Structure 1
Amino acid sequence: MPTNPAIPADAIHPGFEFVYEAHAELGAPLPIGQTPDGARRIIPILSGTVAGPRIRGRILAGGSDWQVLRSDEVTVADATYPIETDDGVLIQIRNRGLRHGPAEVMARLAAGDPVDPAAYYFRTVPEFIAPLGRYDWMNSSIFLCTGARFPNAIKLWVWRVI
């Protein structure tokens, strides 16, 4: 069996298409407490904006991020929330991922201090449920997201894997 079969370069290195930047205002964390998985809390998602080359709109109130802080100090995010596009289409997002970094960086982040997003790892995989029509391309693609956390807000940059 050959050890170096001819594989197209795009099969090894997928490309990325920028989809949007989101900014969301967050409510105060609601602690659930210690569980067998780790410390759990709920972060209410209050409102926000979505702006990019293929989609623009707002994040509607009512979503939340159900987080768990594992024993290895990794925060597991599992956020579900709706966006409404500028043309009135509702899209559901479920965004799951991880945030972690050096202890001193994470302590500064938790204290609400300004922290360069490059100082910690914050990556998620958003999944979209869009109605058929203008945005149904979101139902048939994989997306990756980078993020930055602020005291009462979050910024996300979403990319479609091509």
Structure 2
Amino acid sequence: MLPSIPSILAALSLLALPISITSTATPTPPSLTFLYSLNCTLGTAIQIGAGPHGNRVAIPITGGTFSGPKLSGKVLNLGADWGLIDNNGTFAADTRYQLQTNDNANIFIRTSGPTQADGHIHLRILFETGSAKYYWLNHIVAVGVLTAGSGFVAIDAWYLEGAKAAVKGV
């Protein structure tokens, strides 16, 4: 059941209250919990060329596997990275692809993030699924570190532990 408009407005009005900060202590950062390691194969890159946002390249995602403590399965041959190379030569990932768990749940995934000085790409990861078992993925904050190889990439992914208390199934 969706909340009513008055209850949404009442909740938003709380955001307008003045906040009193009484401590100068550094807050404790949330911890990360391992989600999975993923290896996927890539097709031949398609150079789209220089456009209004940079030099775009499309890299097909053609398959692979992922494995972690709460979900494992395969990467389907459905998706690509539509990354951009900026004026400084930095590549930023912009992916959309499909995971299928070992118990046949489908999970749509989007990632984005820039290449770092060490060559890894730091990713923001968003999940979308209708599976009751994996629905908790829709509400987590997840990050990943991508390592590129020749014709493949490896991604190690984690989620913020602080989100666990508010999300069923985690």
Is the TM-score greater than 0.5? yes
Residue 7 of structure 1, CA deviation? 6.0
After the TM superposition, which of the residue ranges 35-44 and 85-94 deviates more from structure 2?
A: 35-44
For residues 39 and 22 of structure 2, the distance between their equivalents in structure 1, rounded to whole angstroms, comes to 44
- Give the CA deviation at 1:76: 1.4
Is the partner of 2:153 in helix, strand or coil? strand
In the superposition, relative to structure 1, how do residues 17 and 28 fare at CA in structure 2: closer, same or farther (>3 Å)? same
Contact 1:45 1:81 in 2 (8 A): yes
How big is each residue's C-alpha offset from its partner over 1:53-82, in whole Å with a ceiling of 9 and x where there is no partner?
010000000210001100022111110001
The one of 23, 27, 45 aligned to 1:5: 23
RMSD of the TM alignment (CA)? Answer: 2.0
In structure 2, what is the equivalent of residue 152 of structure 1? Answer: 151
Q: Is the 8 A contact 2:36 2:156 kept in 1?
A: yes
Contact 1:65–1:80 at 8 Å: present in 2 too?
yes
TM-score with structure 2 length normalisation? 0.78
The answer for the alignment partner of 2:33 in structure 1 is: 17
Q: Which has the higher contact order (CA 8 A, sep 6+)?
A: 1
Q: Percent of pairs identical after alignment?
A: 25
Runs of 4+ that moved beyond 3 A: 1-4, 6-10
Q: TM-score normalized by structure 1?
A: 0.82
Q: Find the residue that maps to 2:77 and give its secondary structure.
A: coil
